[in-house]
Each structure stands twice: as C-alpha cells, then as structure tokens.
C-alpha cells in the first residue's frame, strides 16, 4: 500500500557553516569511488576538479547513529550545481554511491531549517538507506530533518518533537541498515578491493577480480600520502601461482601492461605511470596493450590474475584485484543511460489536504505523468492528446495549483485512494484502475502496464490494464524498458514510514565483468592441497532519477528496491 509522506518546505539557502574540523583526510575507498565515477560517468567529471578535502567547501562528513560516534560513514560532496553522497567503505554495509542529485544538497536544506528554528547544525546523520538525514546541534539534540518519516504525522509541526521521533524509530532504522547490508550490491561494490588499516590482514578464501581487456585504460586511485605501489602476478587461469614460475609470469604481465613496470618484469611501478588529477589526487594509469592477438600470445592465451598493492598512510595496505579477460564477447565495464525526451517539461506536484486526509502519493504520481503527456501534446499533438488535463487550450502547469489539486482528486477517485491515519493510501493492485480514465482521454491505443512484486510470475488483465508479477530486479528491468522508449515510470518503493510512489524519468544501468576465484582445501594434513576455481560473471546495477512528488524537493538519483512499477503508454498502430 502506498502511504503519503509530506514534502518538506524548501527554503532559500543562506548558509551558516557548521563547526569546522581540520582539512579532511578522505578514506581510500572514497578516493577510489571519486576516481571511478569521474572516469566512467560524465555526470561526475568535476569530481576531480573540486577540492574534495575541504570541509569548509564542497565536502561535509555524515555520521550514522548505529555506528561508532566518531566514525564518518559518508561524505557529501558538492560539485557545482549537483552533489553526490559517497560511502566511506565496506563497514557501512552500503553502496559506494548512495545518492546524487541537483542542488540544494541535503545538508544545505538542514542548515537552513535549523536556522529557521533558531538552531545551528553541528553534526549530520544519515538515519536510513533511502536517505533520511538529520542534523544535531552542539548539545546533541536533533534540530532538523530533510523530510518527515512518520506514518501518522503528515508534517513536522514542531522541531522539538524530532529528538523523540528519532529515538522511537531507532530500532526500525537498525533493521533497515541490516537489510541493506545483505543486498548483493552492498557486497559487490567493494568485492575487488581489500583495505587493511594495519597491514596484516587475514588470508582470504575467495577473491573477486575486476576485468581488464586488451585496450582497457583505467585510473586507479592511490590514496593520500601513499608510500609505495607494486604490481604482482597472482594466478594463471584456474591455477595458483607456483613460486618457481612467478618470475616468468611477472615478466609476461609487465609486457602486456603499458609503461607500468620498471624495470620490465619488476613488481615496482614505473613513476611515469603515476599521475595527478587537476585537484591533486594521485592515480595509477593502468593500461593493457590494445592488440588482442599480441596480448593473447604473450600470455599463452591464459587469463591471468594480478593485484596492485598500495602501501598507504601509517600501516594501511590496499589491494586491488584484476584479471585480464581475453574473450572479446564478454561484457566490458559500461554505463547505459536513458531518459524521457523532455525532463524540463516534467511537472513536480505535491500532496495537499483533501477528502479528510492527504491526497496521496499514488494520485500525485499519476497526475505528474499525465501532466507531462499534456505538456508534450503542444509539440507532438498527433501522438499525445491535448485534452488529458483539460481542454485543448489549457496546458498542465509545472507546479501545484488550485486546478491541479482538482486534477489530482479526480485521479484519486479512479484509483480508489482512501484515508489511513491522516494519509492518502492506494493499494498497489489498484494503481492500474487509472486505465479507463486514460483511455477516455487518450484514445483506444492507450495502455497501462503494471508490474507488482511476487516470487512467481503471472499475468492478468483488468480494467484495460495489464498486470504482471515478479521479483524486484525484474520489475526494475521493466522500468528500464519503458524509459528506453521515453515514458516516465511510477515506482513503488519503501520509505521509513511505509510505501511511497515516485516517478522515474531517467535511468543509468552500469555493468562490469568480474572473475570470482574460490579456494578450497582438499585432503588430510599430510597431503593437503589448495585448489582454486575461477569463473566470470557480469554484474548489473540500475539507478533511477526519481521525482518524489514533494513539489520538486528530494528529487535525486538512487538505486531503490522496487515493489511495483506502473507505466501509461501509447501502443503502436
């Protein structure tokens, strides 16, 4: 069921800086994420231009209440007109990039709210995986939150209630973090990187290696104040490296890497391969020769694994695992994107009081979708009907107005939204009830597709809309499918206070190839052997740009677990 969460009131940002720390020393994992994002995603190219270590400028630390008080769990970095929040490492049990979006960034909103409450933010805390963030004053009292998460209160009427509200929800927050840590991506994002702060780590029974192909060029972060860096052969195919053949295969590895080893065949990295970004972040240019036949012949057509070992500040040791993939048909690291044709024309409506409670997030989501169709009819009138919102002379507004409220209420009746504890709630199975309403305005080619979470897939048709059921990742793939055709997709997600409907207007699908090598011990102590089995796999991650239906507030990129997807579209003739 989709509950209602009220949008926070977005205020103009007049920043009063929180208490300053010394210049930040970012963890290796954060620098690694910065380098990877700036190297693979054009939205983050400016990450290597801003002074990311300046806590008085672009970077602010964010903590968690369920972790050690002094442990910085996230870093929020402003990169001009956008921001990104990066996890500080595997310990958080979270993704590398947890969210990004247009300014104002979450901490700016909190600073402004605290100021209006006569308070001052001293420390920021991320309370939940989906992005609920609060700030505390110097006395440790919660004085601002970026949105209301309670199911029974449509808005926070008195900020003095926040501290008690947080304390009452701590158990639920811990459960949400526990669930996040068990997700595949929470593990796979960190799988090819080992960071040991004391340099004497335990021997691993399994290794994940990132694929490099002939012609691959990547920037590998070296961290702040690194002391040395080396490259070491690790395995040959499914065989562990014998000491007697290590030197020969180290030389072969160095021959297929461009200007990485010095001298040739050494484990020492050539200084000319170490470079700096414009904001002085050190990285290793890791390049594989581009001629596949040459690389294959040098390696005797064996796919080898190797490790880049970085000795960092103090006793920290970082290991980045790689394997050279010689199969041209295997998937390389890539990012695929898609969007509705006119993001600037997509409305941002909000909920309002009506019918004894709030209007509900489901009707607002549908109103945004159909408002977009109505606005697009000005340019493609032979495709979209100009009378979805009103008559052909009336264009749907971009923001909530009196007439838009009536529009939302009309949709609310169609999907049978009802009041529940002051909120407007819509059952997932009734979101497709909008199909006859849409058909009456758009015509016989109109369709509404619904995908709802269930383990066993099945299909039914009702009220002119199709319903299919399957798993969360399958539902997300359906959302990607419709976005590729330029249609916005409503997604049912779970926030802290219950279900919520958001609208996805853009997507990013990241894929990368990895080799997983598992080791097993066989035999008894007098004849014990270690065997290694390696296999390739492709990892996919989907992120969506989401309109939260809060008047434009909290719109952002993030990966979310979806329980439903709903798309209104027009069938081909």
Domains and CATH numbers, the chain: 28-187 (no CATH), 193-332 (no CATH), 340-518+527-570 (3.90.70)
Q: How far is residue 67's CA from residue 97's CA, in Å, rounded to a whole number?
A: 19
Would you say 291 and 214 are in contact if contact means Cβ atoms under 8 Å apart? yes
Which pair of tokens denotes residue 346?
Answer: 């997509």
Q: How far is residue 372's CA from residue 392's CA, in Å, rounded to a whole number?
A: 14
pLDDT confidence tier of residue 184, bands split at 50, 70 and 90: confident
Which pair of tokens denotes residue 417?
Answer: 């939204």
Most confident listed range (340-349, 373-382, 449-458): 340-349
pLDDT surpasses 70 at 199: no
In three-state secondary structure terms, 14 is coil
Would you say 385 and 377 are in contact if contact means Cβ atoms under 8 Å apart? yes
Give the 3-state secondary structure percentages of the chain, helix then strand then coil, rounded to 5.
25, 35, 40
Residues 288-299, mean pLDDT to the nearest whole number = 95
- Model confidence pTM above 0.85: yes
pLDDT surpasses 90 at 239: no
Question: Could you tell me the end-to-end alpha-carbon distance of the chain, in angstroms, rounded to an integer?
Answer: 35
pLDDT surpasses 60 at 149: yes
Q: How far is residue 274's CA from residue 56's CA, in Å, rounded to a whole number?
A: 29
Distance from chain centroid for Cα 79: 17
Q: How far is residue 512's CA from residue 210's CA, in Å, rounded to a whole number?
A: 8
Which pair of tokens denotes residue 328?
Answer: 């041209």
- Return the DSSP state at 246: H
Largest CA distance in the chain: 88
- Return the DSSP state at 24: P
- Phi-psi label, residue 360: left if phi above 0, alpha if psi -120 to 50, beta otherwise: left
Residue 219, CB-side half-sphere exposure with 13 Å CA sphere = 21
Kindly give, in sequence order, each residue whose CB lies less than 8 Å from that of residue 330, ignoring residues fewer than 6 positions away: 211, 213, 513, 536, 538
Question: pLDDT value at position 343?
Answer: 97
In three-state secondary structure terms, 428 is helix
Would you say 327 and 537 are in contact if contact means Cβ atoms under 8 Å apart? no
Query: For 436-497, where are the E strands, in sequence order?
Result: 446-453, 458-462, 465-470, 489-495
- Return the DSSP state at 66: T
Question: pLDDT value at position 203?
Answer: 64
Handedness of CA 490, 494, 499, 500 (dihedral sign): negative
Average pLDDT, whole number, for the chain?
A: 88
Peptide bond into 198 cis (omega under 30): no
Which pair of tokens denotes residue 194?
Answer: 């080992």
Cα–Cα distances in Å, from 81 out to 75, 124, 149, 271? Answer: 17, 21, 27, 36
Report pLDDT digits (tens) over 217-229.
Answer: 999 999 988 999 9
Q: How far is residue 411's CA from residue 94's CA, in Å, rounded to a whole number?
A: 37
Cα–Cα distances in Å, from 57 out to 79, 97, 191, 325, 345? Answer: 10, 20, 31, 41, 32
Residue 148's CB is within 10 A of a number of other CB atoms, namely 20
Question: pLDDT value at position 532?
Answer: 79
pLDDT surpasses 70 at 289: yes
Residues 233-247, mean pLDDT to the nearest whole number = 80
Q: How far is residue 185's CA from residue 22's CA, in Å, rounded to a whole number?
A: 33
Which pair of tokens denotes residue 279?
Answer: 């904001």
Burial 493-516 (b: 16+ CB within 10 A, else e): bbbbbbbbbbbbbbbbbbebbbbb
Cα angle: 143, vertex 145, 149; to 5 degrees: 130
Would you say 507 and 337 are in contact if contact means Cβ atoms under 8 Å apart? yes
pLDDT surpasses 80 at 318: yes
Q: How far is residue 11's CA from residue 111's CA, in Å, rounded to a whole number?
A: 10
pLDDT confidence tier of residue 369, bands split at 50, 70 and 90: very high
Residues 265-280, mean pLDDT to the nearest whole number = 93
Strands 458-462 and 529-547: what pairing?
unpaired
Cα angle: 478, vertex 377, 431; to 5 degrees: 40
What are the DSSP calls for 158-185, one per residue? -GGGHHHHHHHHHHHHHHHHHHHHTSHH
Residues 353-370, mean pLDDT to the nearest whole number = 94
pLDDT surpasses 80 at 332: no
Kindly give, in sequence order, each residue whose CB lies less than 8 Å from that of residue 353, ignoring residues fewer than 6 positions away: 359
Residues 335-346, mean pLDDT to the nearest whole number = 95
Kindly give, in sequence order, each residue whose CB lies less than 8 Å from that of residue 431, ignoring residues fewer than 6 positions away: 2, 362, 366, 415, 450, 490, 492, 501, 564, 566
Residue 175's CB is within 10 A of a number of other CB atoms, namely 10
pLDDT confidence tier of residue 381, bands split at 50, 70 and 90: confident
Peptide bond into 263 cis (omega under 30): yes
Q: How far is residue 400's CA from residue 119's CA, in Å, rounded to a whole number?
A: 30
Between 156 and 170, where is the model more confident?
170
pLDDT surpasses 70 at 167: yes
Most confident listed range (1-5, 90-94, 241-245): 90-94
Residues 43-62, mean pLDDT to the nearest whole number = 89
In three-state secondary structure terms, 421 is coil
Residue 336's CB is within 10 A of a number of other CB atoms, namely 13
In three-state secondary structure terms, 355 is coil
Question: pLDDT value at position 200?
Answer: 62
Q: How far is residue 397's CA from residue 233's CA, in Å, rounded to a whole number?
A: 61
Q: How far is residue 147's CA from residue 133's CA, in Å, rounded to a whole number?
A: 8
């Amino acid at each position: 069921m989709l509950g209602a969460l009220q949008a926070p009131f977005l205020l103009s940002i007049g920043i009063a800086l929180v208490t300053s720390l010394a210049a930040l020393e970012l963890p290796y994992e954060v620098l690694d994420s910065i380098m990877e994002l700036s190297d693979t995603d054009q939205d983050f190219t400016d990450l290597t231009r801003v002074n990311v270590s300046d806590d008085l400028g672009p970077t602010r630390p964010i903590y968690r209440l369920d972790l050690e008080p002094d442990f910085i769990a996230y870093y929020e970095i402003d990169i001009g007109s956008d921001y990104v929040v990066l996890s500080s490492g595997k310990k958080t049990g979270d993704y590398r990039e947890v969210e990004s979006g247009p300014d104002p960034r979450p901490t700016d909103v909190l600073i402004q709210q605290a100021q209006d409450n006569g308070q001052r933010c001293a420390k920021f805390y991320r309370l939940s995986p989906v992005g609920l963030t609060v700030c505390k004053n110097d006395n440790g009292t919660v004085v601002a939150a970026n949105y209301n998460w309670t199911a029974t209160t449509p808005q926070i009427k008195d900020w003095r209630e926040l501290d008690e509200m947080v304390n009452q929800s701590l158990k639920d927050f811990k459960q949400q973090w526990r669930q996040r840590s068990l997700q595949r991506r929470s593990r796979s994002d960190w799988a090819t990187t080992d960071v040991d702060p004391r340099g004497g780590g335990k021997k691993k029974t399994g290794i994940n290696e990132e694929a490099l192909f002939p012609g691959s060029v990547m920037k590998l972060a070296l961290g702040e104040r690194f002391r040395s860096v080396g490259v070491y052969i690790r395995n040959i195919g499914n065989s562990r490296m014998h000491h007697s053949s290590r030197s020969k295969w180290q030389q072969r590895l160095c021959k297929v890497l461009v200007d990485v080893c010095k001298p040739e065949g050494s484990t020492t990295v050539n200084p000319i391969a170490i470079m700096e970004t414009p904001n002085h972040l050190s990285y290793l240019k890791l390049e594989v020769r581009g001629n596949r036949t040459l690389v294959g012949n040098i390696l005797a057509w064996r796919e080898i694994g190797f490790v880049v070992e970085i000795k960092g500040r103090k006793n920290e040791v970082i290991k980045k695992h790689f394997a050279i993939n010689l199969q041209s048909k295997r998937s390389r690291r890539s990012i695929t994107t898609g969007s509705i044709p006119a993001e600037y024309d997509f409305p941002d409506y909000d909920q309002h009081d009506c019918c004894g409670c709030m209007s509900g997030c489901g009707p607002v989501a549908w109103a945004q979708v159909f408002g977009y169709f109505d606005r697009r009819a000005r340019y493609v009138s032979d495709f979209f009907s100009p009378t979805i919102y009103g008559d052909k002379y009336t264009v749907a507004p971009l923001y909530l107005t009196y007439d838009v409220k009536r529009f939302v209420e009309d949709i609310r009746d169609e999907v049978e939204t009802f009041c529940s504890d002051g909120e407007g709630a819509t059952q997932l199975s009734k979101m497709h009830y909008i199909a006859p309403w849409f058909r009456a305005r758009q015509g016989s080619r109109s369709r509404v597709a619904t995908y709802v979470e269930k383990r066993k897939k099945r299909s039914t048709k009702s009220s002119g809309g199709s319903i299919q059921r399957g798993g969360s990742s399958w539902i997300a793939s359906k959302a990607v499918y419709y976005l590729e055709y330029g249609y916005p997709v409503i997604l049912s997600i779970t926030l802290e206070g219950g279900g919520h409907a958001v609208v996805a207007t853009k997507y990013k699908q990241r894929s990368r190839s990895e080799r997983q090598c598992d080791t097993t011990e066989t035999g008894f102590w007098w004849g014990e052997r270690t065997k290694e089995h390696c296999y390739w796999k492709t990892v996919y991650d989907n992120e969506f740009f989401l309109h939260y239906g809060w008047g434009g507030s909290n719109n952002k990129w993030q990966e979310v677990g979806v329980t439903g997807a709903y798309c209104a579209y027009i069938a081909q003739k």
